[in-house]
A and B are shown apart, each in its own frame.
Chain A
Amino acid sequence: MSNDIRIKKGLDIKLKGEAEITLEQAIISNYCTIRPEDFHGITPKLIAKEGTQVKAGQTLFFNKNNEAIKFASPVSGKVIEVVRGPKRRIDAIKIEADKSQAYFDFGKLDVHGAKPDTIKDYLLASGCWPFIKQRPYDVIANPNKSPKAIFVSGYASAPLAADLDFALQGKTDELQAAVTALSKLTEGHVHVTVGKHTNSPFLELSGITLHTVSGPHPSGNVGTQINKIDPINKGETVWTVNPQDLVIIGELLLTGKFHAERVVALVGSSVEKPRYFKTLIGSEVSTMIYDKGIAKDAHVRIISGNVLTGKQIDPDGALDYYSNVISVIPEGDDYEFFGWNKPIFNKVSTSRALTFSWLNPSKKYDLNTNTNGEHRAFVVTGNYEEVFPFDIYPMQILKACMYEDLDEMEALGMYEVAPEDFALTEFICVSKQPHQKIIRAGLDLMLKEIG
């Protein structure tokens, strides 16, 4: 078990549009949208039908397959619309927020005296459980299974990620309450990883195992850290929680209120003044992106999340349940004359095939959404390994997912990975293969067949 993790393989993608360290209160969003697709593998069973009045923290829907897992409304207001897709699948639940917010009172919980089951039930009832994810399979944690350890990454290395030291400032009490509560749910440790030379509030916490990490992205990915600290074996489960969600859990424990507020970074080369906002989960992004942000009809892509793993949303879309970044980058739907063989100075590349990003490693780039080439079969070998710090063969495991060989997937280390771990290999892929989608499909298959 190491306390100092050094990641050598990886790639820092340096982009223009990093957020200034200034925090603004976002305009209060009139509507709050919750999309069940944010919770992978969940079949929602709606409780709050159209017209229902809910308080913040009250259940909107629960998981059909495990009714204990409830999903709460981040605001108080009236459910005005349930958007349904094909086969009446629930796409989104839209809530019109009240002018003055009312919180459902779950009552404070004394985390030191509480029994594990009490804590578990409390988190499940309050809608905080979905913040806890598990590996294998990268889905919301199964409350019936005890994890061997809980991992929190307090260091963000993804392109244009929100600075967690800044975003978590002054939240020491909430974080302490949350980790103390969570530590009772596992027999093992609560591993927290922070960057080097940090003033992270995690440094002041007790009851955690602290690690430092350095090196290029994906050093901040919790999956990378698990692999280096205590890799997952067959039959084992670990839980992961994002630090910004620990704050929400902590506040609930301390005050009894589900206050789904988080610090969100608005970033990207298309944004006039990238900076931090304080806002609620499910808020409309239009409350943030237009003031010193982008023009109304800008030809851009708005992403809830970072540019590697986030979700594309419309300008009238909402912040998703887990993200603390909104990225806005230019769309790249244009042709480029002889773009495949002319020397390239303005794009990132790990090769030197007339691509010159190796000349100036600290240069910041303005990348757009062009794929820079078409989808092909896997041809080039050995390049994924350069950006993939796991002790796993990336191309072999991708191919195993594609030919759906469960034994092979298990043997190659499928229990340890999540789609986001393959974001960098997907970024550099010469054959432009959809790695994250392949891994997600592989995990879903395993979950269905093996469970």
Chain B
Amino acid sequence: MGLKSKLHNFKEKNRGKKWLPAFSAIHTFLFLPNDTTHGGTHIKAADDLKRTMNTVIMAMIPCLIFGMFNAGYQHHLALGEIQSVTQGFFSPEFWTMDNFLVGFWKILPLVIVSYGVGLGIEFIFAIIKGHEVEEGYLVTGMLVPLIVPVDIPLWMLAVAVVFGVVIGKEIFGGTGMNILNPALTIRAFLFFAYPTWMSGDKVWVHGAVERSKEIAAGANLDAISGETILGSLAQGQQPDYSISEMFLGFIPGSVGETSALLILLGGLFLIFTKIGSWRIMLSSVLGAIVMGLIFNVIVDAGIISEGSKFFGLMNTTWWHHLIIGGFAFGTVFMATDPVTASQTNKGKWIYGFLVGFISILIRVFNPAYPEGVMLAILLMNVFAPTIDHYVVRGNVRKRMKRLKVKTV
């Protein structure tokens, strides 16, 4: 075993050097370390943080690959070069090499920038603070390319990642200590710093922004429109996509958020592996359903007129909310982040329910930006410690009561 002993000797020789965590990060990526237990349990279970994070990434890979095909598909469809899919999920029009390559060359740079910048910062902080590189960014780095528009300029992404990792995570003490979900902090930064790149009907399809610039410059071309379903609904228009297209994911949107089917499979995988919290996912869906139903009742009762700017989204059948926009992706992959979610089992029910509930609330009442799940999760991230506090107080009160019964 040449490599194994060479790396081991290198590690031993440089023990105590400041930059060793950077080497260790790569070393432990190749080899499970040779650490043995000291002074506690003499045996340990198989799972470590790397395995946990890796499981989440595996659940996202189908969304990433689908996103690559979809980017090419939406691009070609908008240009009128191909017809929309007709034969369900495995439509040959969709799964073409051409579609894939368009998406691959657009999305691969997003992945590289996300990981390159984010991990770079993690390495620097690990060296400065003298601890090992923690694995938190492995998941964040994969989430980020999946929740941005495909054409987002790479420098914006880089700036946002710097902001998200430094302000969202490192100043709180790094992995495990942050209040806000770092991936959503990055997205929120992009959304407020560069709103024209994060909303509207131009950014969701590759080539649309470029085309509108060419038109503005005087070129005689047809404009590409790539309105998301939520965008259309917010403007009171019915989107031209069928329910099955929405569910399967052949719609414009952020890179990885479109296919509710694959997100559902990813969610089931996370629940099966016990890595993702089923409590949060289920209660979030329940919360969204309740809010959706409330709005449907309001519409049915005639409280709101058809002319209202909220009518389109309020009138959306309650279960459609679950498969359009970023709700499914946020619920499965972002709301379940164990660090920023509620940490008690009871708290997870409350937290998840409110995430779903508020997502739909913001979605309906904010026509300028009809995507509520990001803000709902960030808001609930802030409230999660408070929820936990009251859940834990309940346990403490039970103990106090026991004492009182005794002394009486």
* A340 interface neighbour in B32, B36, B272, B399, Cβ under 8 Å: B32
Is there contact, CB below 8 Å, between B32 and A339? yes
Is there contact, CB below 8 Å, between A376 and B42? no
* A351 interface neighbour in B173, B275, B345, Cβ under 8 Å: B275
Q: Mark B307-350, 1 if CB is under 8 A from A, else 0.
A: 00000000000000000000000000000001101011100100
Interface residues in B28-50 by Cβ distance below 8 A to A read: 28-50
Bound together, the chains give a CA A370 to CA B35 distance in angstroms of: 6
Which of A61-69, A94-102, A129-137, A421-429 is the interface stretch?
Answer: A421-429
**A335-B4, A382-B338, A391-B398 as given contacts; A373 in contact with B32, CB under 8 Å:** yes
Q: List 22 A-B contacts (CB under 8 A).
A: A15-B43, A236-B406, A307-B42, A329-B43, A335-B32, A335-B34, A337-B31, A339-B32, A341-B50, A347-B46, A350-B274, A351-B47, A353-B52, A373-B44, A373-B48, A374-B132, A377-B175, A383-B274, A423-B40, A423-B41, A431-B49, A434-B39
**Among the interface residues B35, B37, B403, which one has the most CB atoms of the partner chain A within 10 A?**
B37
Is there contact, CB below 8 Å, between A353 and B42? no
**B305 in the interface, Cβ–Cβ < 8 Å?**
no
B25 CB to closest chain A CB (Å) equals: 10
B75 CB to closest chain A CB (Å) equals: 34
Closest 10 CB pairs of A and B: A373-B48, A339-B32, A377-B176, A347-B46, A335-B31, A340-B50, A336-B32, A353-B55, A349-B46, A381-B343
A299 CB to closest chain B CB (Å) equals: 11
Is there contact, CB below 8 Å, between B40 and A436? yes
Residue of B nearest to A13 (CB): B43
Bound together, the chains give a CA A373 to CA B175 distance in angstroms of: 16
**A308 in the interface, Cβ–Cβ < 8 Å?**
yes
Is there contact, CB below 8 Å, between B392 and A372? no
**A331 in the interface, Cβ–Cβ < 8 Å?**
yes
A38 CB to closest chain B CB (Å) equals: 14
6 further A-B contacts with Cβ under 8 Å, apart from A309-B41, A372-B46, A379-B175, are A338-B32, A380-B49, A412-B395, A426-B40, A432-B44, A435-B40
B residues near A175, Cβ cutoff 8 Å: none
**B273 in the interface, Cβ–Cβ < 8 Å?**
yes
Q: Give the tally of cross-chain contacts (CB within 8 A).
A: 222
B340 CB to closest chain A CB (Å) equals: 10
B residues near A430, Cβ cutoff 8 Å: 47-49, 51-52
**B170 in the interface, Cβ–Cβ < 8 Å?**
no
**A308-B43, A352-B274, A412-B395 as given contacts; A373 in contact with B50, CB under 8 Å:** yes
**A335-B32, A351-B275 as given contacts; A427 in contact with B45, CB under 8 Å:** yes
Is there contact, CB below 8 Å, between B41 and A426? yes
Is there contact, CB below 8 Å, between A376 and B37? no
Residue of A nearest to B134 (CB): A376
Q: Mark A350-380, 1 if CB is under 8 A from B, else 0.
A: 1111110100000000011111111111111
Bound together, the chains give a CA A308 to CA B35 distance in angstroms of: 17
Which of A248-256, A275-283, A392-400 is the interface stretch?
Answer: A392-400
**B277 in the interface, Cβ–Cβ < 8 Å?**
yes
Bound together, the chains give a CA A46 to CA B40 distance in angstroms of: 29
Is there contact, CB below 8 Å, between B399 and A376? no
**A259 in the interface, Cβ–Cβ < 8 Å?**
no
**B8 in the interface, Cβ–Cβ < 8 Å?**
yes
Is there contact, CB below 8 Å, between B176 and A379? yes
A residues near B39, Cβ cutoff 8 Å: 312, 434, 437
**Among the interface residues B7, B47, B55, B174, which one has the most CB atoms of the partner chain A within 10 A?**
B47
Secondary structure at the A interface, as helix, strand, loop or mixed, is loop
A residues near B124, Cβ cutoff 8 Å: none
Bound together, the chains give a CA A373 to CA B33 distance in angstroms of: 7
* B40 interface neighbour in A15, A412, A434, Cβ under 8 Å: A434
**A418 in the interface, Cβ–Cβ < 8 Å?**
no
Is there contact, CB below 8 Å, between A231 and B40? no
Residue of B nearest to A375 (CB): B132
B48 CB to closest chain A CB (Å) equals: 2
**A233 in the interface, Cβ–Cβ < 8 Å?**
yes
Q: Mark B200-213, 1 if CB is under 8 A from A, else 0.
A: 00000000000000
**B54 in the interface, Cβ–Cβ < 8 Å?**
yes
**A327 in the interface, Cβ–Cβ < 8 Å?**
yes
* A379 interface neighbour in B41, B52, B403, Cβ under 8 Å: B52
Is there contact, CB below 8 Å, between B52 and A411? no
* A378 interface neighbour in B48, B176, B341, B400, Cβ under 8 Å: B176
**B136 in the interface, Cβ–Cβ < 8 Å?**
yes
Bound together, the chains give a CA A185 to CA B177 distance in angstroms of: 48
**Among the interface residues B37, B43, B274, which one has the most CB atoms of the partner chain A within 10 A?**
B43
A residues near B54, Cβ cutoff 8 Å: 340-341, 353
**A303 in the interface, Cβ–Cβ < 8 Å?**
yes
**B17 in the interface, Cβ–Cβ < 8 Å?**
no
A residues near B52, Cβ cutoff 8 Å: 351, 353, 379-380, 430
Residue of A nearest to B132 (CB): A374
**A234-B403, A412-B395 as given contacts; A312 in contact with B42, CB under 8 Å:** yes
B residues near A385, Cβ cutoff 8 Å: 345
Is there contact, CB below 8 Å, between A413 and B399? yes
Bound together, the chains give a CA A309 to CA B37 distance in angstroms of: 12
**B396 in the interface, Cβ–Cβ < 8 Å?**
yes
Interface residues in B148-195 by Cβ distance below 8 A to A read: 173-177
Residue of B nearest to A332 (CB): B36
Is there contact, CB below 8 Å, between B396 and A412? yes
**A336-B32, A353-B275, A379-B49 as given contacts; A411 in contact with B396, CB under 8 Å:** yes
Is there contact, CB below 8 Å, between A348 and B272? no
Interface residues in B1-20 by Cβ distance below 8 A to A read: 4, 7-8
Is there contact, CB below 8 Å, between A373 and B41? no
Is there contact, CB below 8 Å, between B45 and A376? no
Is there contact, CB below 8 Å, between B48 and A411? no
**A341-B50, A374-B132, A381-B343 as given contacts; A369 in contact with B274, CB under 8 Å:** no
* A374 interface neighbour in B30, B35, B272, B274, Cβ under 8 Å: B35
Bound together, the chains give a CA A422 to CA B42 distance in angstroms of: 13
**A78 in the interface, Cβ–Cβ < 8 Å?**
no
**A449 in the interface, Cβ–Cβ < 8 Å?**
no
**A333 in the interface, Cβ–Cβ < 8 Å?**
yes
* A354 interface neighbour in B42, B51, B136, B348, Cβ under 8 Å: B51
B195 CB to closest chain A CB (Å) equals: 33
Is there contact, CB below 8 Å, between B37 and A371? yes
Q: Mark A414-451, 1 if CB is under 8 A from B, else 0.
A: 00000000010011111110111100000000000000
Interface residues in B111-138 by Cβ distance below 8 A to A read: 132, 134-136
A304 CB to closest chain B CB (Å) equals: 11
Bound together, the chains give a CA A416 to CA B31 distance in angstroms of: 40
A residues near B43, Cβ cutoff 8 Å: 13, 15, 159, 307-308, 329, 348, 367-369, 427
A residues near B403, Cβ cutoff 8 Å: 233-235
Is there contact, CB below 8 Å, between A372 and B47? yes
* A301 interface neighbour in B32, B42, B341, B395, Cβ under 8 Å: B42
B residues near A353, Cβ cutoff 8 Å: 47, 51-52, 54-55, 273-275
